[in-house]
Amino acid sequence: MNHLRTGIRIPIELPVHIQWKGQKGSSRKASGKTENISGNGLFLSLPGKVGRNTRIKLTVEFPSDATPRPLQLLCLGRVVRWNKSGEQPGIGVIIDDYEIRPASTATRGSSGKKSKAVNLSMGKPRSRQG
């Protein structure tokens, strides 16, 4: 399936942490960075491959030098593409649901200290209006 880009992409590098279920149902995690973000998706630079159509949870960390206070973008999404062999490893993700919240002091994923799991459900995505 060919997913057409419908939004303006903003090139921005931010820390990102993802979670997904492997082919055998095991919980998998990886960290990387955003390459760009739009209103309905992201492209993430990751050290590895996550299969197309895999549902993922992701947390993007917005530091206080980018926003008035540290924020987290929590998303449920689907992998719609990945870079080919020889290109920088990465995945394209469509956002199905999201939440923006203040980053708590207990959630310092980008500093390598404590990190909290994304609390969004992996159930059926809610439709977005607007």
> Quick check: helix, strand or coil at residue 110?
helix
**Structure tokens, 52:** 């197309």
| Reported pTM | 0.72
In terms of Cβ atoms closer than 10 Å to its own Cβ (0-12, 13-18, 19+), residue 121 is exposed
Q: Domain ranges in the chain?
A: 10-107
Q: What average pLDDT does the chain have?
A: 79
In terms of Cβ atoms closer than 10 Å to its own Cβ (0-12, 13-18, 19+), residue 56 is buried
For residue 53, pLDDT beyond 80: yes
Q: Are 50 and 95 in contact (CB under 8 A)?
A: no
Q: Which CATH number fits domain 10-107: 2.40.10.220, 3.40.50.2000, 2.30.30.90, 2.60.40.3470?
A: 2.40.10.220
User: How large is the average pLDDT for residues 2-15?
Assistant: 78
Total Cβ atoms within 10 A of residue 126: 11
User: Rg of the chain's alpha carbons, rounded to an integer?
Assistant: 14
Closest CA to 66 of 32, 110, 98, 31: 110
The string of pLDDT tens digits covering residues 70-120 is 999 999 999 999 886 677 789 999 999 999 999 874 444 444 434 344 444
Q: Are 90 and 46 in contact (CB under 8 A)?
A: yes
